[in-house]
Structure 1
Amino acid sequence: MPSTIVAAPPITMPSPIPLGASVPALTAHAISVSLPTWEDNIGYEEGDQRVVGRMETGYPRFFIHRSIQKLAALCLAKFGRPDELCILLPSPKVAGEGRDFLAHQNPPVPSRIVEFVICPSSISIIDTKSLGGVDCIELQILLFDKANWSFGKAFWQHSGDGICSRMAERALAFLGELPAGSTNRPPTPPNLERPPSKAPQTRNKHYSRRTNSVPPTPTTPSAPPTPRLETNPNHDDDAPVEPVKEEFLTSDLTTYLEERYGRNLPLFNAPLAKQALKRRIAGGLLPSDEGYGKVDDVVRGAGSGSGKKAVKEDDVYLYPCGMSAIWHAFDIARAARRRKGEKEGKSVCYGFPYTDTLKILQKWGPGCHFLGAGGTEDIPALEKLLEDRQPDEPPILSLFCEFPSNPLLRSPDLVKIRQLADKYGFVIVVDETIGNFINVEVVEFADIVVSSLTKIFSGDANVMGGSLILNPNSPLFEDLKAAQSEIYEDNYYPEDAVYMERNSRDYRGRIKRVNDNAYDVTDFLFKRSLADKSTPTEGKVIKQVYYPRFQTPENYAQAQRLPPTGKGGFGGLFSITFTSEAASMAFYNTIGCAKGPSLGTSFTLASPYTILAHYLELDWAASHGVERGLVRISVGQEDQEVLKNWFESAVTAAEDAGREVDGQ
């Protein structure tokens, strides 16, 4: 009987996400937004209404979430003057930092702070029993003239300390308001029915307190002023945009479903969620984490028999996002220097970094030295900088670097940097977000380690978070710990911590899958690139593949965990450059994965990184090797066949475009 050949089932490809929709799709607190074509990204940067008019959301530090915008509009209506705008901050300390930042501009920007405490009342659309004692929201409203919006937005973006979208939705619920974009109100329990519009309330549950001496606020306008709806960090387009149309659930109902039928801890267990996160970050995997039962399974900072102290939970601090952790790492270094009565020196940004890291070092303190090559090439320049300090010049305060860097995936020479830090006494701050501590161990080289938990630690792209570790073996540990003890406050919103704890339980398994996928994808792309000299170059349009396997591998090996998790252990992020922008555009427009800002997602995510992060400084970025046409890819957990189809079709389209450019 002849054999029957059974055809393989067709591969089901994910549906494209429309322009402006959240990434992931239909996610209330998504951290990315779909920009599916090269032209869409340029339109976003230039404020093209075709693009910004369709954006439902965006990366939270650049695009202020709709619910935060709605809450800000209500605050402006209650406390603002017609010529003012505001940003919403979580604590008096953060608000004071924002006010000081504005006051240090040239010329100084005047501002005022209003504290607004919002408690549930008879008009609340939320059952307060689910909050576990969190019965009020305390907002700090930093108000300033509309003309100075760019400065207020800069503080929001760089510090990462603005309120989160879940906090905004909770405050809106206390005020009897739905989240921004909600179109349906679910049935309200009888005891929470809204009273008749003219019925007086028995007690005013919302009050404010001005925290600085300012004239009384003028009479509240009869209608709220149109809020500034931020669409892009590089321009100020005041045109409002269409609301989110897919949002139908209140935040409380969503939370109930997650807790009742999902895997979330109840909200009243947020302190336990934070403890679990700190233990996970310190290196101990809880017994429920994928069967990795040993607490010292990925112990940090103390190899077997090394005699060094391991990182403990008390050495780990949580922040609202990764950039907040970076901003506060710098603040810790500055505070430690001040405690000793010494002048604060400049810092060093070593290697081409994520844009806001450099901006922080430039805009706070006395400034910084930028050594953009990174790797080992800039070690002589760093040594000269340290050796040539003038007698009246304060010593270097700190050195910030990424391991590896974003977007060129270059790793600094941590061994040599550690030697120089021991000699000259500066603080080493290493951002391990791209490497992640399953793949690399940087604690032994750094004084402070920061990471964006928003990325692969979470994976689900629906919550922000950041972490900071003080290395207990650092020669500066006691100074840094004392400074941190004085200035740290926990502003990580409890509900975000609960979601982050849930998301991160399986992060080790996800990292293995991502490592495997990225290794295979970059291997395929490298063989189709001009960098591969073992194959003919004719028709190739990929110039370079930036991945730790190919970029400064000897430096990456200094901190690489062995044996690696999965293939190579090089992480899921890489970048590629092309022989022409036409080829870059064709590749990006063709690839079938999700497209938008951020990285470390469980799904593959592409971005024309330089266009999106450095559109107003493209020549400067290019001078440091970050080309305009660079495409950055964060590889996810898709099946190999799906990834193969995506990248083969994208490379073919790029090569076709390259032939058109060459006139073939």
Structure 2
Amino acid sequence: MSTKTLTTAVLGSPVPPLTPHAISVCLPTWKDNIDYGEGDKRVVDSLVTGYPRFFIHRSIKKLASICEQKFGVSGEQCLLFPTSTVAKHCRAFIIQQAAKDNVHFQVRITQLLLHSDSKDRGNCTPSSKLGTELHIVLFPADKFQYAKLFWGHTGTGISSRYAEYFLSLLPEETAPASPAIYTKPRSAHRYYSVREKRQSPATTPCDALSDDHSTYFEERYGRNLSHDAATFAKRALRRRIAGVLLHDGPAVQDSVGSANSELQPSKRGPGVTEDDVYLFPSGMAAIWNAHQTVSAVRPAAKSVGFGWLYVDSLKILAKWGPGYHFFGFGNEEDIDALEALLEAESEKNPGCSPIMCLIAEFPSNPLLRSPNIRRLRDLADKYEFPIIIDDTVGNFLNVEVMPYADIVVSSLTKVFSGDANVMGGSLVVNPQGRYYRALKDQLSSAYEDIYYGEDAIYLERNSRDFERRVRVIDENAEAVCDFLQSRSRAGGAIKHVFYPKWTTRENYEQCRKRGSDGISTGGFGGLLSLTFHSEAASRAFFDSLPINKGPSLGTNFSLACPYAVMAHFTELKWAAGYGVELGLVRISVGMESKEDLLGRLKIATEAAEAAV
């Protein structure tokens, strides 16, 4: 298969191509990524889409424009949220962050409710409320930077599908004629209330789902997505994540979310059930809610970020609560330092837990380092604090971190979905953890299901062959890394290959999935990173690499990015101090043929060696 058929090379275009709700965007050259970090007009104006927490989809912008014209005053701008609770969190955050800069202004919340004719739609809504109500946070347009931080850090804003559904309920004068990602927002809107509901593209009643073997839910129901379909999808997702389905996969997709599905004891850990799994609209929403939940049941104290954490995870620790201690290498020396800190704090305040919680990734992104999770668990038991583990990069088919964690969070946007067309996240509470009852009680009282039903339906369908895809990706990634490691050892342009097979492997093996016979069943995952002996080699490798280039990971297709440039452009020196060098290239390996992938990597490696 030719390279051109598998890659997108048009700056700013969706990745995957022609995908209205794509979660990645094409940034094909090193210079494009640099210019993106600098906010260069050439790049910014070319973006058709982007990663949803950093780029507000055009459907959401269109809907926000309507709300601003209806409710805004004096040049106000707005962001849109699914519930009043989330909107209030946003308002409090904006006010708090602005006050730190000695800036004060009004932040208002209002809501917009749309009610369709029940005779036309029956119970056919994507969820009982979501999709027909908006909670609108209004603020001065020149203070947008504060609001955008909340949108990006928490991942709790409405999704693009949510916006398009809401827009479809508006009268013809305000509704989009085609998917908004390909249209420009109109400059004026004359009507904001529903006087007459337009006929939906599909009017299929909410009948049983069991006969729907080969057609997407959304194709069958069109805009009239059944509340039952969303409930079915979410139940299937929670069971799949909990590891309690006796049978799973495309062949039995009609039963995995039904009330009488065959279940088994969890593969994730003793006692885990679907009721211990909570769904969120993004991985960051799961992390933010995990931190919020722990904050509500634990005495106020600093948290610990152990090992290199994703940038927004650190921002959550910094901006909610009393702050954090950071042990960015995540090695044995850092555990020694953590233990010393815990002992000192305990002596200073006897009878009090020295920290509120510890958050770690297993393994970390992008350095693929795995912490000594057993030592961390021993410290948590001794000094009485909960552990939150993000297993997104390893994924729960490859690693089993539940025995060492009180909460496990995952970005379902990544390999669990694979198709790069929907966001999602999960939080799983460990029933064997010492804080289980307190965490469950808090979630029972505070959890809101804000995961939009249509997004859940897409994610459920994407994840049906999760296990098969993971095995292919693991095998491909190991072959790619073996090749790159051989070139590195030969003294070429590659300085280091970061991959769990060689990076802190002894720690990775502690949690690697094994069968009843003790033989490893889990792979090393699909993510790897490379550093080079010169920046010129990094640029040559990246620019010559004939695969998709853009943010995100865990996609069914291979995807690369210059990670430090993309994630830490304003703090490159600080990141480099922890090993995340300017020239680091991160590659998420996909499902292309192994021979094809190796051929592509050879092209890029030879270009890097020529540059050296």
TM-score (norm 1): 0.81
**Structure 1: distance between partners of 2:349 and 2:495:** 47
Pair 1:466–1:109, CA change in 2 (3 A): farther
User: Which residue among 78, 84, 92 is the counterpart of 1:100?
Assistant: 92
User: Which residue among 500, 504, 510 is the counterpart of 1:548?
Assistant: 500
Aligned pairs for 1:108-127 (under 5 A) are: 108-120=104-116
Q: Deviations over 1:190-243 (max 9, x none)?
A: xxxxxxx999999588xxxxxxxxxxxxxxxxxxxxxxxxxxxxxxxxxxxxxx
Aligned pairs for 1:289-328 (under 5 A) are: 289=249, 295-296=263-264, 299-302=267-270, 310-328=271-289
**Structure 2: distance between partners of 1:200 and 1:291:** 45
Pair 1:129–1:474, CA change in 2 (3 A): closer
Q: Which residue of 2 aligns with 1:283?
A: 243
Q: Which residue of 1 aligns with 2:259?
A: none
Q: Does 1:391 align with 2:344?
A: no
Pair 1:473–1:146, CA change in 2 (3 A): same
How far apart are residue 81 of structure 1 and its match?
1.4
Q: Does 1:467 align with 2:426?
A: yes
Q: Which residue of 1 aligns with 2:39?
A: 47
How far apart are residue 375 of structure 1 and its match?
3.0
**Structure 2: distance between partners of 1:565 and 1:152:** 49
Q: 1:430 is paired with a residue of what secondary structure?
A: strand
Matched length: 572
Whether the 8 Å contact between 1:321 and 1:453 is mirrored in structure 2 is: yes
Whether the 8 Å contact between 1:465 and 1:500 is mirrored in structure 2 is: yes
Q: 1:140 is paired with a residue of what secondary structure?
A: strand
Q: Does 1:615 align with 2:546?
A: no
Q: 2:413 is paired with a residue of what secondary structure?
A: coil
Q: Deviations over 1:122-174 (max 9, x none)?
A: 9xxx9888536757611110011122211100001101101111000011111
How far apart are residue 565 of structure 1 and its match?
10
Q: Does 1:270 align with 2:230?
A: yes
**Structure 1: distance between partners of 2:34 and 2:194:** 53
Pair 1:489–1:132, CA change in 2 (3 A): closer
**Structure 1: distance between partners of 2:487 and 2:191:** 72
Q: Which residue of 2 aligns with 1:169?
A: 164
**Structure 2: distance between partners of 1:251 and 1:444:** 48
How far apart are residue 486 of structure 1 and its match?
1.4
Q: Deviations over 1:487-528 (max 9, x none)?
A: 101000000000010000000000000000000000000000
Identity %: 50
**Structure 1: distance between partners of 2:234 and 2:241:** 10
Uncovered stretches (5+) of structure 2, i.e. residues with no partner: 257-261
AA at the equivalent of 2:40: D
Whether the 8 Å contact between 1:283 and 1:295 is mirrored in structure 2 is: no
Pair 1:157–1:198, CA change in 2 (3 A): closer
Pair 1:517–1:488, CA change in 2 (3 A): same
How far apart are residue 181 of structure 1 and its match?
4.0
Uncovered stretches (5+) of structure 1, i.e. residues with no partner: 1-8, 185-196, 206-249, 303-309, 338-342, 659-664
**Structure 1: distance between partners of 2:193 and 2:217:** 35
What is the Cα-based RMSD across aligned positions, in Å?
A: 3.0
Pair 1:506–1:482, CA change in 2 (3 A): same
**Structure 2: distance between partners of 1:476 and 1:542:** 45
Pair 1:591–1:298, CA change in 2 (3 A): farther
AA at the equivalent of 1:450: V
Q: Does 1:142 align with 2:137?
A: yes
How far apart are residue 419 of structure 1 and its match?
0.6
Q: Deviations over 1:613-651 (max 9, x none)?
A: 000000000011100000000000001121011100000
**Structure 2: distance between partners of 1:318 and 1:432:** 15
Q: Does 1:351 align with 2:307?
A: yes
**Structure 2: distance between partners of 1:551 and 1:38:** 26
How far apart are residue 182 of structure 1 and its match?
4.6
Whether the 8 Å contact between 1:580 and 1:629 is mirrored in structure 2 is: yes
Pair 1:377–1:82, CA change in 2 (3 A): same
Q: 2:403 is paired with a residue of what secondary structure?
A: coil
Q: Which residue of 2 aligns with 1:371?
A: 327
AA at the equivalent of 1:442: V
Q: 1:641 is paired with a residue of what secondary structure?
A: helix
AA at the equivalent of 1:52: V
AA at the equivalent of 1:313: E
**Structure 2: distance between partners of 1:325 and 1:198:** 38
**Structure 1: distance between partners of 2:296 and 2:263:** 33
Whether the 8 Å contact between 1:516 and 1:567 is mirrored in structure 2 is: no
Aligned pairs for 1:232-271 (under 5 A) are: 262-264=215-217, 267-268=225-226, 269-271=229-231
Whether the 8 Å contact between 1:336 and 1:482 is mirrored in structure 2 is: no
Q: Deviations over 1:391-425 (max 9, x none)?
A: 28863000000000000000011101111111111
